[in-house]
C-alpha cells in the first residue's frame, strides 16, 4: 500500500493527496516544529548515500543486495546512536549525593547545586551578612542565635545540605552539631561566601524570608 502511494505521488505530483488515501489535513504534532527525524531513518538515509554504486546500470532498491551492502554501516550507526543516547542519559541523571560529611569549595558547590536542586543551602551567618549578599534560595539560620540548635533540629535530616558561613570558621565548628543531630548528608563549603564571591558566582541581596508560622 505504501509503495503504491509513493509511486502514484511521483507520477502525479499535482494531484491532491487525499485522492491517494492520504488525509489532506495533517495531524497536529506538538513536536513537528523540531523537525527531528527518528534515528533509524537517519541511519538508513546515510547508509543509502554511502552505499556502493551499482554497475552496468543495475538498479538496486530495497532488495537483498541493497541490505547486504548497507547492513554493516547501518548497524554501526545504530550502535553509535545507542552509545550517544546512553551518554546523554548519564549526564541528565547525575549520581546521587553520597552520605556522610564532605569538605568542598565554592566552585565545586556551584556545580553540585546545578545538578541537585533538592540540596538545601544553609547560610549560618548573621542576618546583616545574609542581607548584604547570599546564594539564591539559601536558608538562613544564625550560628550566634541561642535557638540555632533548635532550628537545625526541626529540619529534615534526610535531605542533603550545603552549609557555609563567611569563611569557613563558624560552619566548620557546626559540623559536630550536625552529626550529633543525625544529619546524613552534609557538604561543608569551607571557603565560605567569601570564596563564592571571589569565584564570581551568582548571588543576590535581600533580607531572609520569615519562617512560615506553624498552626
Q: Give me the pLDDT at residue 10, please.
A: 42
Q: What's the rounded Cα separation, in Å, for the pair 106 and 36?
A: 39
Cell of 142: 544564625
Query: Cβ–Cβ contacts within 10 Å for residue 187, how many?
Result: 24
Mean pLDDT of 175-193: 98
Which tens digits make up the pLDDT trace of 68-124? 666 666 666 666 655 555 445 444 565 788 899 999 999 999 999 999 999 999 999
Give residue-wise pLDDT tens across range 10-66.
Answer: 455 444 444 434 444 444 444 444 444 555 555 555 655 555 555 555 555 555 565
Mean pLDDT, to the nearest integer, of 138-158? 97
Query: What pLDDT score does 179 carry?
Result: 97
What is the sign, positive or negative, of the torsion defined by CA atoms of 126, 127, 129, 130? positive
Distance CA 112, CA 186 (A): 12
3-state secondary structure 49-80: HHCCCCCCCCCCCCCHHHHHHHHHHHHHHHHH
> What is this structure's pTM?
0.58
What sign has the CA pseudo-torsion 22, 23, 25, 27? negative
Amino acid at each position: 500500500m505504501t509503495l503504491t502511494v509513493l509511486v502514484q505521488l511521483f507520477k502525479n505530483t499535482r494531484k491532491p493527496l487525499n485522492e491517494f488515501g492520504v488525509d489532506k489535513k495533517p495531524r497536529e504534532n506538538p513536536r513537528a516544529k523540531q523537525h527531528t527525524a527518528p534515528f533509524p531513518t537517519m541511519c538508513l538515509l546515510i547508509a543509502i548515500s554511502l552505499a556502493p554504486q551499482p554497475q552496468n546500470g543495475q538498479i538496486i532498491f530495497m532488495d537483498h543486495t541493497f541490505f547486504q551492502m548497507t547492513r554493516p554501516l547501518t548497524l554501526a550507526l545504530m550502535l553509535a546512536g545507542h552509545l550517544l543516547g546512553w551518554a546523554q542519559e548519564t549526564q541528565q541523571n547525575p549520581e546521587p549525593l553520597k552520605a556522610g560529611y564532605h569538605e568542598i569549595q565554592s566552585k565545586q558547590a556551584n556545580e553540585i547545586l546545578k545538578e541537585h536542586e533538592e540540596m538545601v543551602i544553609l547560610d549560618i551567618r548573621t542576618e546583616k551578612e545574609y542581607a548584604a549578599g547570599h546564594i539564591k534560595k539559601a536558608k538562613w539560620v544564625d550560628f550566634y542565635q541561642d535557638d540555632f540548635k533548635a532550628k537545625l533540629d526541626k529540619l529534615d535530616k534526610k535531605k542533603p545540605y550545603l552549609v557555609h558561613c563567611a569563611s569557613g570558621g563558624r560552619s566548620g565548628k557546626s559540623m559536630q552539631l550536625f552529626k550529633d543531630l543525625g544529619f546524613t548528608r552534609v557538604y561543608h563549603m569551607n571557603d565560605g561566601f567569601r570564596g563564592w564571591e571571589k569565584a564570581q558566582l551568582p548571588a543576590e541581596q535581600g533580607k531572609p524570608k520569615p519562617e512560615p508560622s506553624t498552626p
